[in-house]
Amino acid sequence: MLKKTFAICTLALSSFAFIPAAQANHHGVKEDIIDVAMENGSFNALVTAVKAAGLVETLKGEGPFTVFAPTDEAFAKLPEGTLDMLLLPENKEKLTSILTYHVVAGKVTAAEVMKVDTAATVQGQKVTVTTNDGKVMVNNAHVVMADVEASNGVIHVIDNVLMPK
């Protein structure tokens, strides 16, 4: 009986923990790009890099932004030691250049991305966009998930890190 009462109390209390989140989503309140990436769990390397480059406040800003977000697996494809080297304070400028090469000003949905050949990045260079059988590539990266909504833009998940020229 005691176990059953404890289980019911635990269930009741845990259900209250979800009420604020459900209410926030119900009213259309979404998290910004950084919060969405942090909560997802697949972008730890990206979030670490954004913090090292000092871009957190920018990507938490009003936007809107379109971010081609490489997963942790995408960062793992880089030559060994590359990310560690980029995270060093003396390489902040290079890291910032790489990260801003993944960002396009404005909110560009998947439907809009599929209609363009190039997109100008915040870094200043353009990325090449190709579509084949409904699958989108940005430079050498496949878009593996599109239109992840955030309060200040949209995230398109990619499977490679984009490197500017």
Quick: pLDDT tens for 9-60. Answer: 333 333 333 223 322 343 354 799 999 999 998 999 999 999 999 999 999 9
Whether residues 73 and 4 fall in one domain: no
Whether residues 5 and 39 fall in one domain: no
- 19: domain range? 1-30
Whether residues 16 and 61 fall in one domain: no
Whether residues 24 and 42 fall in one domain: no
Quick: pLDDT tens for 115-152. Answer: 899 999 999 999 999 998 889 999 999 999 999 999 99
Q: How far apart are CA 162 and CA 33, in angstroms?
A: 18
- Is the overall model pTM greater than 0.85, yes or no? no
Parallel/antiparallel/unpaired status of strands 135-138 and 141-150: antiparallel
Query: Which residues pair with residue 109 across a beta bridge?
Result: none
Helix (H, G, I), strand (E, B), or coil: what is residue 13? helix
Q: How far apart are CA 80 and CA 62, in angstroms?
A: 35
Quote helix, strand, coil % in the chain, to nearest 5: 45, 25, 35
Whether residues 105 and 42 fall in one domain: yes
